[in-house]
Amino acid sequence: MPDPGSRDAVVVGAGIVGICAALSLLEKGFTVRVIDPEPPADGASSGNAGVISPWSCVPQTLPGLWKDVPKWLLDPDGPLALRWAYTPRLLPWLFQFFAAGNVKRLPAIADAMLTVNRPSVDLFHQLLDGTGDEDLVRDSLYLHLYRNPAGADLNNLPWRLRSERGVPLEVLRGGEIQEVEPELSTDFKAAVVIRSQGRATNPGRLGKVLAAKAEARGATFVRGRVHRLAPGVNGECRLETDQGELAAAKVVLAAGAWSARLLAPLGVKVCLEAERGYHMVFEDPGVTLNHSIMDAERKFVTSSMEMGIRSAGTAEFAGLDAPPNYRRSKVFEHLAKRILPNLNTAKKSEWMGTRPSMPDSVPCIGPVPGHPNIIGAFGHGHLGLTGAPMTGRMVAALAADEPLNLDLKPFRLDRFA
Ligand SMILES: Cc1cc2nc3c(=O)[nH]c(=O)nc-3n(C[C@H](O)[C@H](O)[C@H](O)COP(=O)(O)OP(=O)(O)OC[C@H]3O[C@@H](n4cnc5c(N)ncnc54)[C@H](O)[C@@H]3O)c2cc1C
């Protein structure tokens, strides 16, 4: 049995958060095992839109957002979908979601989001250094496009939250947009450009390259499912898995949207929801984008990747176990065409993945209440690719009992209890 003071850790979940946690734990001298029934970075961490967004500080919830909900739900191409049978189970989360969108709570939420997201581009460059795949993260702009130019007014609350925090913003009008991205439709009348961004040209491969780096540095990747976490003797943690029992001085829980299920038997309730998203990849697209593009009215992102052009988005609430509804991804075919009129959509593939979403868009990072040797690292919602490297650093410092010069209160797992 490991001594709880020893540098021995098991990371549950080999998504991008678990992989970054493993790399940071290795740096601190830990012996690291990562357990997941799936190969590294195969879930949400593979199919996302690849935006690495250091300036992201605007939560999904905002004052007055509820007014848009009926319109979105009635639109079959809209950005939001609900399975009605699931709604009663969603209500507690929804209540906290709309409560978090109170204007008085937004500054603290924005600051917490920046804590995790701000170093992302630099940290990804550092993590990739020496792998030979440094090009997987490119410096980029992030264009938010509007058909109605009123959306690009920097006095609007979401843009104000950003500019008050020093986010480098610029407004483009009319033909200025095509000077930056020649293939974009002239339907867009204005764009807000966020500078100093990054973009992953293949998020799944990025995760696999970093997992291979962790393995080369001594981490072991175990293919298996954790059924139960339990306290062991002398403060260490036991993990009951389909590969037998494991024990470790420290456990990092990075099981994405599944994390709440592993916490429930410990008597710990977290307000975590499975927010499903979809993508469509257009192979041989015939057009290229240089940057990440957000259709700000339709709320989906489009980017050039190694596989072609990927359009990704949608918030679908149907629980963790419902089968995918690929109608949600098919809408990207005509929506993407409206952004990129010359896009070749003949060859395409579709995908669904599950975001681990907290009501306030702030991840859970820190000790599990009552179980100080289990450290939570989940709940990154729409920004888990971006937040993964800093989360890894934070959990590794916590595991090593090193002081973190950060306020961890906004990240507490029990903040909605
Ligand atoms: C359509 C879409 C677009 C997105 N776009 C972006 C973007 O542009 N930028 C951005 O920053 N983020 C984006 N995201 C969000 C981002 O992809 C997620 O927040 C991130 O991938 C979450 O990473 P994770 O490691 O926490 O979870 P996951 O990638 O879900 O990994 C969790 C892992 O835990 C494993 N697991 C579950 N249960 C167990 C168990 N019992 N035992 C062992 N292992 C277990 C799972 O198999 C899985 O591999 C997007 C998401 C979607 C769906």
Which parts of the chain sit beneath pLDDT 70?
Answer: 1-5
What CATH superfamily classification does 68-101+141-197+274-357 receive?
Answer: D-Amino Acid Oxidase, subunit A, domain 2 (3.30.9.10)
Helix (H, G, I), strand (E, B) or coil at 189: coil
Give the pLDDT score at 20: 98
Give the pLDDT score at 245: 96
Give the pLDDT score at 4: 52
Give the pLDDT score at 232: 83
- 31-36 and 292-295: which strand pairing? unpaired
Among 317, 318, 287, residue whose Cα is nearest residue 302: 287
Q: Mind listing the pLDDT tens digit for each residue in 262-277? A: 999 999 999 999 999 9
Rg (CA), the chain: 21
Q: Mind listing the pLDDT tens digit for each residue in 343-382? A: 999 999 999 999 999 999 999 999 999 999 999 999 999 9
Q: What is the residue extent of each domain of the chain?
A: 68-101+141-197+274-357
Q: Nearest C-alpha to atom 9 of ligand 1 is from which residue? A: 51
**Ligand 1 centroid distance, CA of 277 (Å):** 11
Strand partners, 49: none
**Ligand 1 centroid distance, CA of 45 (Å):** 4
Ligand 1 nearest atom to the CA of residue 56, by list position: 11
pLDDT over 90 for what percent of the chain? 94
**Ligand 1 centroid distance, CA of 175 (Å):** 37
Give the pLDDT score at 347: 97
Give the pLDDT score at 254: 98
- Is 137's C-beta closer than 6 angstroms to any atom of ligand 1? no
**Ligand 1 centroid distance, CA of 299 (Å):** 19
Give the pLDDT score at 233: 81
- Is 365's C-beta closer than 6 angstroms to any atom of ligand 1? no
- 80-82 and 347-357: which strand pairing? unpaired
H/E segment holding residue 350: strand 347-357
H/E segment holding residue 191: strand 190-200
Give the pLDDT score at 2: 55
Q: Mind listing the pLDDT tens digit for each residue in 106-125? A: 999 999 999 999 999 999 99
Q: Which positions ≥6 away from 200 have C-beta within 8 Å?
A: 50, 52, 124, 136, 137, 206, 305, 385
